[in-house]
Amino acid sequence: METIIDCRGLTCPQPVILTKNALNDQDKVTVIVDNDPAMQNVRRLATKMGCQLQMEKKEDGTYHIRISRSAAAGKSAETAPAAADAPLIIAVSSDRMGRGSDELGDVLIRSYIHTILELDPLPDTMIFYNTGVKLAVRDSAVLDDLKELEAAGVSIIVCGTCLNYFGLTDSIAAGVVSNMYEIASTMASAGRLVTP
């Protein structure tokens, strides 16, 4: 039997949490969302869980996402990584580094992001939230470095709530718009979590 989850009007991360909980109990779920970020986040969760999905955009602007979990797909998006495989996660909460001089903080964060390109191994994921999201938008001084990190396989996730708060949702130029559920679960899976 198929479960229908109506997430219209719900804010991040509720659509993702409701979808995940339903997929833990059901093999077939249809999720209805009314905005692009929620659609992207639910789609990414389903893919991460190894599910099949079909998506349809309706005339009223809603998305109907049909998700099927196969027997081979896990019941949870989270699995504890083995210690040797535990990912390195860098969480950037500000467009400045450190406290004190804003001018110096700007120089330091640009230098820090550029230096990450020299790490071996590179981080698995970089998370940008609060004013840190300003680093992943058009005209950011570190945009070229972030694009190079993405091209090298670093996953970059950017808080959608934060982008919306600063009016920058349409300005994202690196990474993917994410949600607090994915941010929290990614941080929880870290073998090493670095916050500059």
pTM of the model: 0.72
Specify the amino acid at residue 45. Answer: L
For residue 20, which of 40, 5, 37, 2 has the smallest C-alpha distance?
A: 5
Give residue-wise pLDDT tens across range 51-108: 999 999 999 999 999 999 876 555 544 444 444 567 999 999 999 999 999 999 999 9
- What per-residue confidence (pLDDT) applies to 78? 46
The segment(s) of the chain belonging to CATH 3.40.1260.10 are 83-194
For the chain, where are the alpha helices, taking DSSP H only? 14-25, 36-48, 102-116, 143-151, 160-165, 180-188
Q: Which CATH number fits domain 83-194: 3.20.20.190, 3.40.50.1370, 3.40.1260.10, 3.40.50.2300?
A: 3.40.1260.10
Whether residue 5 is predicted with pLDDT greater than 90 in this model: the reply is yes
Please list the residue range(s) of the chain that carry CATH number 3.30.110.40: 3-68
Could you please state the CATH topology (level 3) that the domain comprising 3-68 is classified under.
Translation Initiation Factor IF3 (3.30.110)
